[in-house]
Structure 1
Amino acid sequence: MKVITFGEIMLRLAPHGYYRFGQSNDFEASFGGCAANVAVSLANFQEEVSYITKLPKHAIGQWAVDELKRFGVDTSLICRGGNRLGIYYLEKGASQRASQVIYDRAHSSFSEARPEDFDWSKIFRGADWFHFTGITPALNPSIANITLEACQKAKKLGLTISCDLNFRKKLWTSEQAKETMSKLVPYVDVCIANEEDADKVFGIKASSTNVLTGELSKEGYEEVAKKLQDTFGCQTIAITLRKSLSASENLWSAMLYENGKTYFSKEYHMHIVDRVGGGDSFGAGLIYACRHLSDPSERIEFAVAASCLKHSIEGDFNRVKVNEVLTLAQGDGSGRVQR
């Protein structure tokens, strides 16, 4: 059985290294996007995964398809049409200077997709898991309705549905997010969020917590998870807990809430190479762990370790294998040369 991910892949343009936008004469080109990042991670874990999106038929759209195929992602159900591939520009931060993202995705092929572009009965054939993020319905009401249609069909067919809330203030307001996501999350079995998402989307705030100063209360996030479950009925709630010491140094952990019990992972002190895609690598790690590991504590450790490793890798895509994740999850974080 396979996993289906749904969302927009974009061309990522970034100055070399840690140059600022106005400092570099050329940009590095690669691809990224939440659902695509999850698909690539799962393919690297040897999962069967199909990525669903809409891409233009021209050479840049084909470049994106070829890049996904290179990792083993099934692209056979991607809809082709429209005129442009969305772009995002990334300026990587360092020390106390934050990273910056600028979107150029208006009128992209995906954002102008229509319901008839996606035959969900065909797409879900042979699948048992559907994943999307809050970025997808944030693009416009039409895409939000397509996402709702996908969730309704997936639920009818008995698929497990996962969603990363992934609030982006540059795409919509908290009020818009709450209105739309309140219609989608009741279909979700596995809800994923970062330390701010539940507050930004649903107004569910962790007590005794200040994200900006890095003060995160475990008890506060346990209450957040309980409220999310009570409100929407999700079976599993996972929340990543990032303490940002600077753009370059983070403390990274997560919690899992399931069957009335809470499981906290170990905490990693990360020196960050590239944090974009870090949450997506966590989501992919959790999906893999839910499918293959029965112990909830092992599931959250696997997801956190997968994401920790991604922070050391350039680009949106996580390029690690299961054995590498297990090595870290089981305690070997020495970083010693493997000979």
Structure 2
Amino acid sequence: MPKNIAAFGEVMMRLQVPGYELLSQASTLNYSFSGTGVNITAALARFGHAGYLVSTLPANAVGDAAVAYLQKLGIAQAFIRRDGHYVGMYFLENGFGARPSRVTYTNRQASSFNTAAEGSYDFHSIAKNIDVIHFCGITLAMNDTVRQQMKAFAKAVKENGGMVVFDCNYRPSLWGEDGYEKARQHYEEMLHLADLVMMNEKDAIYILGMKTEKEDRHDQLVDLIPAVAKMYNISVIAGTHRSINGDNTHSLKGFMYKNQTFHFSKTLAFSVYDRIGAGDAYTSGIIHGEIEGFSPEKTVDFAAAAGMLAHTIVGDTPMSSEGDILRAMTVSLGDIQR
């Protein structure tokens, strides 16, 4: 059954260098709008749900352009405020071979979203009209006002019986020096409020400061994730392990921990056209599987296929339908590493 799904987060302008040039070489840029909340709600709207973004955009022509872009993605506008003057921006240089892609942020703290004052949103009213809310660790890193807004919104959704999804998505550059120590308390508060969490063993080790004697990533995951679920009373924890192969293809394996049991996807190998936003595609697949009542095995395979397809599409925002992903779960068998 379709649900009303919202995300709380910033709309950013993506300024991409054409081809594989460096920013210092290029004379033109292609722009679009994105953000974790944009990607999640757009992906779930394509699966048949109603996607809402809870955010603030500037009351000017740039804000108008962002609204028009969101409308094309099928994102509802009911909870978007218009105030302030700026959107955050980032420049994207596409990687090639041994050179990784590079993202450079600018003007982020001055954006309309990040300067919205306390009390700008009626979270209790919004919470009565949605079934699921998605939060991201990137948003948590912005400033104290945004952090308080996130926590207040999560509590309002919980009080109204909704599902709270939290993607850890830690970014060292946003938290600065001693970032893990600064972030830990805020992450722990969000984990206590969350029903579904996106994370892996690295988040448990570095953000939460948990210890393990295991050395292999898989063994660390199996050792730590059940302890996180028990400590914070989390119903579902999901995430991925990815690697880059010698032929420059990528491999991705998803996991889901539910009812004290791990479920793993097949390992998928694929070429990459645009990696940005692929993690959001995986998250949207997990959310869709959960609210549609898929088995855990189907959910994690669906999410992994969604993540794989997102690597093949230009832009941050996942564009695959449920049918596209279900077909990929079948036709991608030739790319499975056994």
- Deviation of 1:82 (Å): 0.9
State which drifts further: 240-249 or 123-132: 240-249
Look up the equivalent residue of 1:135 and give its one-letter code.
I
Alignment of 1:21-32 (within 5 A): 21-32=23-34
Look up the SS of the partner of 2:303 in the other structure.
helix
Partner of 1:55: 57
**Counterpart pick for 1:119 among 96, 118, 122:** 122
Q: Is the CA contact 2:42–2:75 (under 8 Å) kept in the aligned structure 1? A: yes
Could you say which residue in structure 1 is the equivalent of 2:105?
103
Per-residue deviation at 1:196? 3.3
Judging changes above 3 Å, is the alpha-carbon distance between structure 1 residues 269 and 195 closer, same or farther for their aligned structure 2 residues?
Answer: farther
Number of residue pairs matched?
329
Q: Which residue of 2 aligns with 1:181?
A: 187
Contact 2:167–2:198, Cα closer than 8 Å, also in 1: yes
Check if 1:155 corresponds to 2:158: yes
CA offsets 1:287-336 (integer angstroms, 9 cap, x no match): 1111113310101111111011001111101111100101122354569x
Residue 128 (1) aligns with residue 131 (2): yes
1:315 aligns with 2:318: no
Instruction: Quote the residue 2:43 is aligned against.
Output: 41
Cα 1:235–1:123 change in 2 (3 A) is same
Equivalent residue, structure 2, for 1:213? none
One-letter amino acid matched to 1:328: A
Q: Tell me if structure 1 keeps the 8 A contact 2:128–2:157.
A: no
* Candidates 58, 63, 66, aligned match of 1:64: 66
Q: Which amino acid aligns with 2:169?
A: N
Q: Is 1:83 the equivalent of 2:85? A: yes
Q: Which residue of 1 aligns with 2:228?
A: 228
TM-score by length of 2: 0.93
Query: For residues 187-246 of structure 1, what are the alpha-carbon distances to aligned partners after superposition, in whole Å with 9 as ceiling and x for unaligned?
Result: 10000025633333213467655xxxxxx6323212221121122111101021111337
Q: CA contact under 8 A between 2:124 and 2:153: conserved in structure 1?
A: no
CA deviation profile, 1:51-73 (whole Å, cap 9, x unmatched)? 11111011111111111111211
**Secondary structure of 2:135 counterpart:** strand
Q: Which residue of 2 aligns with 1:193?
A: 199
**Segment drifting more, 93-102 vs 216-225:** 216-225
Task: Give the TM-score normalised by the residue count of structure 1.
Answer: 0.92
Tell me how far apart the structure 2 counterparts of residues 39 and 260 of structure 1 sit (CA, whole Å): 29
The 1-side partners of 2:20 and 2:164 are apart by 37
CA RMSD of aligned residues (A): 1.8
Instruction: Say whether the 8 Å CA contact 1:195–1:241 is kept in structure 2.
Output: no
Q: What's the CA shift string for 1:240-295, capped at 9, x where partnerless?
A: 11113379521101111011111010011121111110111111111111111331
Structure 2: which amino acid aligns with 1:199?
I
> Any gaps of 5 or more consecutive residues in structure 1?
210-215
Q: 1:21-40 deviations in whole A, cap 9, x for unaligned?
A: 11111111111111111011
1:243 equivalent in structure 2: 243
Aligned match of 2:330 = 330
